[in-house]
Amino acid sequence: MGNVAIQFTGAAELEIARQAIPEPGPGEFVVEATKSLISTGTECICYNRWFEPGTHWDRWVKYPFSPGYSSAGVVRAVGSGVERVKVGQRVAGRKSHAKYWKGRESELGVGVVTVPEGVSDEAATWFGIGSIVQVGVRAAEHRLGDDVVVIGCGILGQVLVQYARLCGARTVVAVDISDMRLKTALGHGATHAVSEPVDQCQDAVADATDGRMGSVVYDVTGNANVLSSALGLARDFGTVVILGDTGVPSGQKLTSDVITRGLRIVGAHDAHPPRESTRHTPWSKDAINQLFFTYLQRGDMRVDDLITHRHDPRDARSVYDGLSKDRSQVLGVIFDWTLVDG
């Protein structure tokens, strides 16, 4: 018996590492993973080193690097002093792809959450994505009746479309060059789909919004070249939210739209919410996570049907190589750890 973990050992280099199963120390617990979700954009950037020297990516990706940040499973052992986590309890954590991972009771509500009844393990792995997107939605400061443009309909964009409708958007325009992704977005709340490249879709967005353009425009692509075109899709005094984190920030260019039309540009990142709620900052990481689960339980959001591929973790090299070549027909990609013996 032992642990199995995915590790990046260099640019486009990967190994399936065999390790000892972690033992819980005081205040700790050990989880046997059942499912983990690949953050396809982030993890492909890390796998291939698609980032500039000196960026936060460069400081983050050190070898051996353990990819992944959203895993669900069952608590198998607890250490001394642990009171709020029990053996057999289902939890999800901001943890890397591995058969077993260790959590701390102090992480509850921040990096680890209990999985409520009615939420599958596969759906629970989306809580990290749900949190990241919710940060962007809150930063946008939506108003009832907004016209929303979502550029990039990968897993972040698909969740974002649903949040935008929950915020009362009048129009949600999904922009992507993948017909499969656009069809999925329409099935999850988008009112219009535009399959033209972002630098050619201004007329289509104008038609979809009856000439109003986007009150809020989201760049969820992680592509540095998109920002300048995204600015042109916003209405005067509108907001552009950069939610997809690019590895090449020097490639992001501003246009005269920012000054002449009074646009507001907002950056949104997973690290922004406070650890604890206060009177002035009520939306802590825990509050954001719990709201996401509430939406899943009520059926206000759907993520199970966004999963397009499931893989044995031992096939990780071919999985990442395939994702690096073409993600146009891919949305949620799950590693199924129940296929791996410890």
Q: Which long-range contacts (CB under 8 A, 24 or more apart) does 295-298 make?
A: 295/162, 295/166, 296/118, 296/119, 296/123, 297/116, 297/117, 297/118, 297/119
The pLDDT value recorded for residue 138 is 97
- Beta strands 28-38 and 332-336: pairing type? antiparallel
**Helical segments of 141-284, H only:** 155-166, 179-187, 202-208, 227-231, 257-260
Q: Under a CB-based contact definition with an 8 Å cutoff, are residues 139 and 23 in contact?
A: no
Average pLDDT in the chain: 97
Q: Which residues of 70-98 are buried (b: 16+ CB within 10 A; e: fewer)?
A: bbbbebbbbbeebeebeeebbbbbbbbbb
Q: Which two tokens stand for residue 327?
A: 């993600």
Is the alpha carbon torsion for 10, 22, 334, 16 positive or negative? positive
Residue 130: band (very low, low, confident or very high) from pLDDT cuts 50, 70, 90: very high
Q: How far apart are CA 170 and CA 148, in angstroms?
A: 8
Q: What is the mean pLDDT of residues 57-83?
A: 97
pLDDT value of residue 320: 98
Average pLDDT over residues 28-53: 98
Q: Has residue 150 got a pLDDT over 80?
A: yes
Give the span between the Cα atoms of 4 and 342, in whole angstroms. 7
**What per-residue confidence (pLDDT) applies to 33?**
98
Residue 176's pLDDT is 98
Structure confidence at residue 341 (pLDDT): 87
Q: What is the full DSSP assignment across 190-224?
A: -SEEE-S-GGG-HHHHHHHTTT--EEEEEE-S--G
Model confidence at 185, pLDDT cuts 50, 70, 90, reads very high
Express each pLDDT in 243-277 by its tens digit: 989 999 999 999 999 999 999 999 999 999 998 99
169 alpha carbon, distance to own chain's centre? 21
User: Distance between alpha carbon 311 and the CA centroid of its chain, in Å?
Assistant: 19
CATH of domain 3-126+303-339: 3.90.180.10
Residue 1 confidence (pLDDT) above 80: no
Residue range 95-104, pLDDT digits in tens: 999 999 999 9
Domain boundaries of the chain, sorted by first residue: 3-126+303-339, 133-267
Residue 230: both structure tokens together: 């995204």
Q: Which residue has the higher pLDDT, 342 or 28?
A: 28
Query: What confidence score (pLDDT) does residue 342 get?
Result: 67
Instruction: Work out the pLDDT band at 3, boundaries 50, 70, 90.
Output: very high
- Give the pLDDT of residue 143: 97
Residue 8 main-chain phi, psi, to 5 deg: -90, 130
Residue 111: its pLDDT value, please? 93
Q: What is the pTM of this model?
A: 0.96
Q: According to the CATH classification, is domain 133-267 in 3.40.50.720?
A: yes
The pLDDT of residue 244: 87
CA separation for the pair 260, 253 (Å, rounded): 16
Give the integer Cα–Cα distance in Å for 271 and 42: 15
Residue 325 has pLDDT above 90, yes or no: yes
C-alpha span between 276 and 235 (Å, rounded): 35
Amino acid code (one letter) for 263? L
